[in-house]
Amino acid sequence: MRLEMGHIHIKDIRFSEESKIVDGVLFVCEDEIRKIVLEDEKIKSVTFDIAKPGESTRITPVKDVIEPRVKVEGRGGIFPGVIAKVDTVGSGKTYALKGMAVVTAGRIVGFQEGIIDMSGPGADYTPFSKLINFVMVCEPEEGIEPHHYEQAVRLAGFRVAVRLGELAKELTPDETKVYETCGIKEGIEKYPDLPRVAYVHMLQSQGLLHDTYVYGVDAKKSLTTMMSPTEIMDGAIVSGNCVSACDKNTTYHHLNNPVIHDLFEEHGKTLNFVCHILTNENVYLADKMRSSDWTAKLCRMLDLDGVIVSQEGFGNPDTDLIMNCKKIEAEGVKTVIITDEYAGRDGKSQSLADADVAADAVVTGGNANQLIRLPKLDKVIGTLDYVTKIAGSSADAIMDDGSYEVELQVITGATNEMGFNCLSAR
């Protein structure tokens, strides 16, 4: 597949009577966007705000982060099976609004939702503090079940991101990048001397608000499979989970998966990037065994020389991670895993819930239990009602001076297990 990605750089966001993009400025009509959000009767009301880098602003509880995109040429549309009709995407031409994001926030659904600080020490740990964020704070109708509220807000965020992306359809991109993969036979003939490498992408699928969707299908309902790595850039994979904020893969992470981008950078130079393998993270042992068996089987059938494996979450998913690593290595395929650590506040506890000697090449996104003190900021978008209840916080986390002593767990994207962050270890 060949995908042309056009980047439209957004320098500012302003409210206006008309939604449009002019000279890098995104103008947003609140009335128009509000109607899009309130299409779902489960959402009672929505307020909008803009958070810019360096401002004394805290956004919480953060649910998802989404980069607006639009399909300009080729099959399908953005978020196929969710917003656009089901069609294979990943080819043609797509434009993305770079330097900004749509952030959904509102009443807490699961305790594993997080914080984005736009300035101060917390801002150093989240990539989203560097973006201009268009924030939607959604309130549910009374009596709505939490998972129905989560779904309503998630879909509203996608609808808004698609609408904002459409504003760029007739623009000329500031820059263009091309991503292209070969067929299996073609790749062998074209790059006979380069190692054959794939990306094994573990998707959070434990249920109970721990879900990821592929073309609109809950990943836990699927066996291990593969697709072109360009498909994810058109929104084939979206987040629907409330795992700990620090290592949650938001939809923004999926759209901008750094493992895929880095492998493309080396494709045809130091390696042959063969494909993108999707597998899930389940709860029951039999499901874990089945999925990891299929992952190892695909790696062998594709005659791979090496794979990179990333996970999402911690604890129970560590078992899936090590199973995948152990079984892939047993097939003679070299494996590198990307994870993060829950090593205790002193860093001395066992980092992962599972381990094996086969896991001898590990990249870490940092220790999620590391303590940090977040100062009181001038503005809150959302609500502080739940800051003592989210994962990584505690009942006595708020200090007398209004500062907030917590673990990195509370910061959205702080220890991301795709490596989409600032932390690692030596």
Cβ atoms < 10 Å from Cβ of 195: 13
Q: Which residue(s) pair with 37 in the sheet?
A: none
Determine the length of the chain. 426
Q: What distance in Å separates the CA atoms of residue 381 and residue 133, rounded to the nearest whole number?
A: 11
Q: What distance in Å separates the CA atoms of residue 72 and residue 169, rounded to the nearest whole number?
A: 6
Q: What distance in Å separates the CA atoms of residue 67 and residue 157, rounded to the nearest whole number?
A: 10
Question: What pairing do the DSSP bridges indicate for beta strands 57-66 and 2-9?
Answer: unpaired
The torsion defined by the Cα of 280, 284, 287 and 293, in degrees rounded to 10, comes to: 90
For 252-370, strand residue ranges (E) read 272-281, 306-310, 334-341, 362-367
Look up residue 295 and give its two tokens.
């992952």
Per-residue burial over 157-190, b if 16 or more Cβ lie within 10 Å, else e, is bbbbbbbbbbbbeebebeeeeebebbeeeebeee
Bond before 61 cis per omega within 30 degrees: yes
Residues 6+ apart with CB under 8 A from 53: 118, 119, 123, 129, 130, 131, 132
| Residue closest to 375 by CA, chosen among 404, 414, 406 | 404
Which of 138, 182, 242, 275 is catalytic? The answer is 242
The torsion defined by the Cα of 359, 365, 366 and 371, in degrees rounded to 10, comes to: -140
Give the single-character DSSP code of 357. Answer: T
| Residue closest to 355 by CA, chosen among 367, 334, 341 | 341
| Residue closest to 57 by CA, chosen among 126, 3, 115 | 115
Query: Active site includes 242?
Result: yes
Give me the active site residues, please.
Answer: 242
